[in-house]
Amino acid sequence: MLNINAVTETYLHGDLLNAIETSIAKLGKTLDSVTIEDLAAVDEFHIGGRVATEHLFDQLNFSEQDHILDVGCGLGGVARFVANKYNNRVTGIDLTQEYIETGNALSSWVKLDELVTLQHEDALSMSFQDESFDGAYMLHVGMNVEDKARLFSEVNRVLRPGAFFGVYDVMRQKEGELAFPVPWAAENSTSALASPDEYKQALTEAGFEVSKEVNRGEFALDFFKELRAKNEANGGPPPLGLHTLMKESTPAKLKNMIDNIAAEYIAPFEIIAQK
């Protein structure tokens, strides 16, 4: 069984809001002029960043009036993107208190705090009433949740009938020894990877109908190749990026993740389901 404290420790920064503020100043921006596009490099903590977010949401039929649940919201970058682009009200939940506090500050900076609410919650036992939300999504969350049957059952509980649920997670593609650390885990004991078939089975048993599964492994490798080329051309990474979150562990975590994807042990997959 995964140790929840060890999982949250993986993501703890310690001075994240100040680190982001400092990086924003290096971009030549202030808290009054920073935009969600500026923040996307750090607050969309998943493979492919904003490009991957848009690809997923192009497949979800959320309406403007829908209240959407972000499961494992992190800093709330996706929630802010959805609120800004589609004018949805979004509630995000996450186990990492520092991410919630930082994310709510970022929402205030870009004046989206009336549409985006982030709160400290356990996705396996949410405080929301049954059928509270019109749709839901989770991006790079299931790798830290061992009990996916309970997770998807709880998401199903809080969704209204007919609601869409989009998943974009790193999943097991074939057996093999993974290189650690990776962005979601320092070692195997804090990683809870599962195959797409296991995801689909858990979703179906929770009351969802799965309509689509997409392997985004090639996209991931292309994304990291382009990112590396851009960083080399610019003499290093930009002031604000994933390294702001992962600090000195960034090169090792990204290299291992890329190697694991290239070996086809893992890949990011999209799954679209409907209650």
Confidence of residue 40 (pLDDT cuts 50, 70, 90): confident
How many CA atoms lie less than 13 Å away from 65 in the CB half-sphere?
A: 0
Residues in CB range of 116: below 8 A, 6 or more apart: 76, 79, 80, 83, 89, 90, 92, 107
Residue 86: closest CA among 116, 48, 117, 43: 116
CA distance 234 to 216: 27
Confidence of residue 246 (pLDDT cuts 50, 70, 90): confident
Share of the chain above pLDDT 90, in %: 80
Average pLDDT on 177-194 reads 93
Cis peptide before 181 (omega within 30 of 0): yes
Cβ proximity of 91 and 68 under 8 Å? yes
Which of 7-21, 29-43, 168-182, 201-215 is predicted least confidently?
A: 7-21
Give residue 82's identity as a one-letter amino acid code: V
User: Residue with structure tokens 């994240």?
Assistant: 16
Is the pLDDT confidence value at 34 over 90?
Answer: yes
Give residue 126's identity as a one-letter amino acid code: M
Q: What 8-state DSSP symbol labels residue 185?
A: B
User: Residue with structure tokens 């356990």?
Assistant: 122
CA distance 35 to 255: 29
Which of 9-23, 58-72, 124-138 is predicted least confidently?
A: 9-23
Is the pLDDT confidence value at 79 over 80?
Answer: yes
Element (H, E) at 255: helix 250-262
CATH code linked to domain 4-274: 3.40.50.150
Confidence of residue 231 (pLDDT cuts 50, 70, 90): confident
Cβ proximity of 47 and 79 under 8 Å? no
The 3-state DSSP composition of the chain as helix, strand, coil percent (nearest 5) reads 45, 20, 35
Give the global pTM: 0.94
CA distance 168 to 213: 10
Beta bridge partners of 68: 90, 135
In the chain, what are the domain boundaries? 4-274
